Amino acid sequence: MKSQLKILLINPPYTNFEGMKESGGHMLSLGLAYVAAFLRSRTNDQIEILDTEVEGLNYGQIKDRIKKAKADVCGLTCPTPTMAHVGRLVKLIKEILPASQTVLGGIHPSVMPEQSLRETGADFAIFGEGEITFYELIESFKQNQPEFSKIAGLAWRSGEKITINEPRRLIQSLDDLPFPARDLFNLPLYYSAPTKKVSEENATPILTSRGCPFNCIHCCSRVVWRGQLRFRSAQNVLAEIEECIKKYNLKEFNFFDDTFTVNRERVMEICQGLIDRRLNISWICFSRANTIDQELIKIMEQAGCKKISFGLESGSQEILNLMRKNTTLQMAHQAVQIVAENNIAVHASFMLGNVGETEETIKETIKFAKSLPLDNATFFITSPFPGTDLYTIAKQIGSINSQTRWEEFAPLTNTSPILVQKNVSKERLVYWQKRAFREFYLRPKYIKRKLRLLASRDGIKTLLEGLRILIRILFKKS
C-alpha cells in the first residue's frame, strides 16, 4: 500500500432514521477524536472525520461524501443501536471504494468482535482500547506482507475465516495520550442534550478517566475497561480545558467519566485549578449517590459546575440491590439534597423494567423521583446491552433471540421494550414510562418551580427542549 494513507473515520447515522431526533443532543465522538489525535501524533496520514449523525445526512449524501473522500481506510465507531446502519455503510463503502479497508471500533465490536464482522462484512474489528491497535493496523497496511496476527486487540477476516487476536494491555498513563482532535469536527454543530444543557454555549465532552470500579448488572463498562480505573492527572485535564477555551472558544464541558467524583482528592485538585487559573467555564458531570459530600460540592460549584447527573435508577431498595447498584435510597436523597442546596442543578435518570421489577416497584420509583428536588429526570425502559449480565439474563428468559434487532437497544425510541419479565408486560412498561414522565413534569409543584426559568433566554430554551422530549415520549407508540 502507499506510505501515506487517506483515512476516513465515520460516526454512523441513527436517530434521523430510527430514534428520536434531538433527544440526545449532539456530542462529538471522543473515540474518533482520540484515535485521530493518536494517529496524527505518529504518522503523516491524511485524516478526515465524517459525522453523518450530527450532520443529519441521508444515504445519498453519505455516498457522495465517501466517494469524495477516496479513503484507503474507513473506520466506523459502533454503538450497539447503530449496527444495522454500520452494515449498510460497510456495504456502501465496498461498492464505492472496493480497495478500501473497513475497520470497526467502539463498544459493540469490543463486546462481540466476531459477530460484528460476520454481520457487517467489515474487514477488521478493534476490541478494547483502540488508539494503539488502530495505529498498528494502519502501519501494517503500509507493509508488503502485513502480519495482522501480531496486533493485540484486533479481530480480522481472511475470506470467511475470522481470527480473534489476544487482548491488548490497557494504556497505563493516560497523560501520554494527545488531546482529542476537536479541530476535525464542525464544532458549532455540537451541543448538549436538553437534560444536560447548562448554557447557550456549544458544548464538548471531556474524559478525565477511563473505567469504573463498580459492577452494576446493566453496565458494559467492565467489558471494555476490564474493571480497571485509570485517571489523568489534574494538570493534564486543566491543560486540555485551557486548549478548548483558547483554541476553540469552548466554554461548556460535559465530563463523560462514568463517575467523575469517584476520586475525591483529584476532583478537588481539578476544581482548585479551575479557580486559580480563573477559567470561566460551565460544566456538568456524572456522579453517584455514594461519592458526594458538602465540601466537595461547594468547591465544584465555585469551579463552574452547573449540573450533576445521577443514575439513581430506582426508588425501590430491593431493585437497587438486584442491580448491584451499591447505593441506598437514603444516600440518593442526601446526595441530591446537598447538590440542590449548593445552587447546582440536579438531573437523575431512572430505569423501569429491571430484574425483579413489578408495577409496585415502578410506582415506588415515580414517587421517589417526585420526592426529590430534581430539576429534571429521565425515565428509561431498561435495555439489556450486550456485554452486561442483564444481556445474559435476557437471553436466558427468551427476551433476546435471532429476531431481535440492534436498533431496539436504543433508549427513548419508538421500539418495543426488549427485556420483558412475567411481572410487567411490554404494554405496561410503555404505559408506566409515559406515566412517569407525565407525573413528574406535569405536576403543579414542578411547573411552579420551573416558571422562574422564564426570566432568562437560556431557561426558556431549556424548558422548551425538555417539553418537546416529554411530548414525544407521551405520544410514542405503545
Q: Could you tell me the sign of the dihedral formed by the alpha carbons of 455, 456, 461, 466, in that order?
A: negative
CA atoms of 325 and 288, how far apart (whole Å) = 10
For CA atoms 450, 456, 459, 463, the dihedral sign is: positive
SS3 category, 190: coil
| Residues 406, 67: Cα–Cα separation, whole Å | 27
**pLDDT at position 20:** 47
| Residue range 305-360, pLDDT digits in tens | 999 999 999 999 999 999 999 999 999 999 999 999 999 999 999 999 999 999 99
Q: Record the cell numbers describing residue 104, joined without a space.
A: 470497526
Rg over alpha carbons for the chain, rounded to the nearest Å, is: 22
Nearest to 153 by CA among 300, 263, 35, 65: 35
Q: Which domains does the chain have, with CATH numbers?
A: 6-164 (3.40.50.280), 191-474 (3.80.30.20)
Q: What is the pLDDT of residue 23?
A: 47
Amino acid in position 456:
S
pLDDT of 189 reads: 92
Instruction: Cell numbers for 66, please give them.
Output: 465517501
Chain segment 263-278, per-residue pLDDT in tens: 999 999 999 999 999 9
- For residue 386 the three cell numbers come to 450486550
223 and 111 Cβ atoms separated by less than 8 Å: yes
In degrees and rounded to multiples of 5, residue 328 shows phi and psi of -120, 165
**DSSP 8-state secondary structure symbol assigned to residue 324:** T
Find cell 412475567 and name the residue. Answer: 422
**Cβ proximity of 75 and 123 under 8 Å:** no
pLDDT for 34 equals 98
Per-residue model confidence as pLDDT tens for the chain (478 residues): 578 999 999 999 987 555 445 544 588 999 999 999 999 999 999 999 999 999 999 999 999 999 999 999 999 999 999 999 999 999 999 999 999 999 999 999 999 999 999 999 999 999 999 999 999 999 999 998 899 999 999 999 999 999 999 999 999 999 999 999 999 999 999 988 777 778 777 899 999 999 988 889 998 887 777 778 999 999 999 999 999 999 999 999 999 999 999 999 999 999 999 999 999 999 999 999 999 999 999 999 999 999 999 999 999 999 999 999 999 999 999 999 999 999 999 999 999 999 999 999 999 999 999 999 999 999 999 999 999 999 999 999 999 988 899 988 887 666 788 988 889 999 999 999 999 999 999 998 888 877 766 555 555 555 665 666 667 666 665 5
Q: Which residue has the cell 431498561?
A: 382
Sign of CA dihedral 312, 314, 315, 318: negative
pTM of structure: 0.93
